[in-house]
Amino acid sequence: MSGKKQITSLQLYMILMMSIGISNHVLLIPVLLHYGKRDSWFGAVLAIMPMLIWACLIYFIVRRSKQEELMGWIQMRLGKWVMHAMQGLVALICLVHAVVTIRDVTMWTHVTYLPRTPLFFITGVFVIFCFFAAREGIKAIAISSGLLLPAVIALGYFVMGANFQYKDYTMLTPLFTHGYGPTFISVLLTCSASFEIMSILVMQHHVRTRIRLRGLLILTVCIIGLTIGPLTGAIAIFGPFESADLRYPAFEQWRMVTLGKYISHLDFLSIFQWISGSSMRTSILLFISVDVLKIQKKSTRSHVLIWICLGIFALCLYPVSDNQMVKWLQNDYYTYMFAAGIVLTLFLLIVAMLPIRGKETKA
């Protein structure tokens, strides 16, 4: 890695909006609806509170690590072995996220609009694209996110507006018909998915401008807002029970769009949204998983990346049914990610609060 700082904090936020936005849209919402039903949207709204406090903690870590390379900072404070363990953990988390993202987007593609195109082909093309983006580096990913995100957001508002004719927001109530449990679970799930904001810590050393608290807070609200929007939309159109049965509630809203008598079938626009989100997400995850290993030589990095991509490709084609994956997402994935988020935050907070050692003051 060249030590150059390549992107601005705004670009970093755009990458995160893209990559967390897509998972909060398409992975999280079905799970939220499954557990929270009608209360899920309220849980998502409530999650803003703890997440804002949490964002302040992240900001604290950013400041204490002086926005420098996180692994080096950990090594300086706790030594080489802890750093290696962290490297492994971060890379592992990235790869799990990448596999889930690719599996989801390719299965969706296969089920909805390319039923006759073989799955291995869709997956292959997707992985190859993300490989090149990740190899090109964070700057390329940041620039493409910056180009894609405005269009994705504009389309999001379009689908929201076009569907107002079908929405019945009275379906958002009554709340708490099953006690406060479903709301609480929804809060935890939303937090669990949004903990991914933590990935700025492993990208912060590429950012040449200062990461500010205000930026982090706005980012947090936006990312949770990205969940609340389509979630309330799905409940208002399909009701809590039918939308909990839908495999792709966000996409289903796109299919509803009709403008007058002659314009309908605009769901192809969501392909643009979904593919841009997923490819940016996968690319940045691949990038992080290699970047965190701190390999200096470019050709070695490419080789490692190729092997990672091949591994992901194989895992994505490993025959697990979509239903099994949905079950796994519901039962395990978000629990693990919640645990990982909490443990990592606590760990980094402790690291940040360790007294400054002599070596560090010299550096």
Partner 1 sequence: MRNILVKCVIGIFLLGSLTGCWDMKTIQDTNYMTAVGFDYKDGKFIVYGQMLDFASVAKQEGGQSTQPPLIWVGKEEGATPSEAFNKLYKTSQQRVFWGHIGAYLFTKRALGQGIGKYTDGSIRYSETRFTQWVYSTDQPIESVFSIVPFFNVSPMSSILMQPTDNYRQSSYIVPRRLFGVVSHIREPGQMIMLPSLDIVKDVWLKNEKPDPKLMVNGAYTLNLHHQLEWFSLTELLGLRWLNEHTKRTPLLIYKEGKPIQNVLIKPKSHIKVRVDGDLPVFDLEIAAATAVAEVFELVDEDTLEQLVSKEVTEEVERTFQHGQNRGADVYGLEHVLYRQNSAAWGKLTNYGTNPLTDYKLGNIIVKVKITNTGMLKMKEKNQQY
Chain residues in the site for partner 1 (CB under 8 A): 111-118, 121, 166, 170-171, 173-174, 177, 237-239, 241-242, 252, 255-256, 258, 261, 264-265
Is 160 or 342 the residue whose CB approaches partner 1 more closely?
Answer: 160
Min CB(264)–partner 1 separation in Å: 7
Complex with partner 1: residue 136 or 242, whichever CB lies closer:
242
The residues that bridge with 179 in the sheet, in sequence order, are 177
Q: How far apart are CA 73 and CA 324, in angstroms?
A: 40
Angle at the Cα of 263 (from 258 to 269), degrees rounded to 5?
A: 75
Tokens, residue 348: 């980094």
Least spacing, CB of residue 197 vs partner 1, in Å: 33
What is the closest distance, in whole angstroms, from the C-beta atom of residue 5 to partner 1 in the complex? 29
Closest CB to partner 1 among residues 268, 318: 268
Peptide bond into 230 cis (omega under 30): no
Q: Which is nearer to partner 1, 122 or 216 (CB)?
A: 122
Which of 299, 54, 334 has the alpha carbon at shortest distance from 188? 334
Complex with partner 1: residue 84 or 255, whichever CB lies closer: 255
* Residue 40 vs 204, nearer CB to partner 1: 40
How many other C-beta atoms are found inside a 10 Å radius of the C-beta of residue 54? 21
- In the complex, the smallest distance separating the C-beta of residue 117 from partner 1, rounded to whole angstroms, is 4
Q: Which residues contact 316 (CB under 8 A, 6 or more apart)?
A: 99, 102, 103, 106, 123, 127
Question: Shortest gap between Cβ of 110 and partner 1 (angstroms)?
Answer: 10
Q: Count CB-CB contacts under 10 A for residue 331.
A: 10
Helix axis angle for 213-245 and 249-256, nearest 10°, is: 80
User: How many CB atoms are located within 10 Å of the residue 184 CB?
Assistant: 15
What spatial distance separates the first Cα and last Cα of the chain, rounded to whole Å? 20
Residue closer to partner 1 by CB (options 245, 332) is 245
Min separation Cβ 256 and partner 1, Å:
6
Nearer to partner 1, 117 or 331 (CB): 117
Distance in Å, CB of 350 to partner 1, minimum: 45
Cα distance between residue 299 and residue 283, in whole Å: 18
Closest separation in Å from C-beta 298 to partner 1 = 17
- Judged by beta carbon, residue 107 or residue 134, the one nearer partner 1 is 107
Provide Rg for the chain, Cα atoms. Answer: 20
Tell me the CB-side half-sphere exposure of residue 222, using CA atoms within 13 A: 19
Asked if 166 and 254 touch (Cβ cutoff 8 Å), the reply is no
The amino acid that residue 76 corresponds to is M
Q: Which residue has the tokens 């390549």?
A: 6
Q: How far is the CB of 239 from partner 1 (least distance, A)?
A: 3
Q: How far apart are CA 22 and CA 2, in angstroms?
A: 30
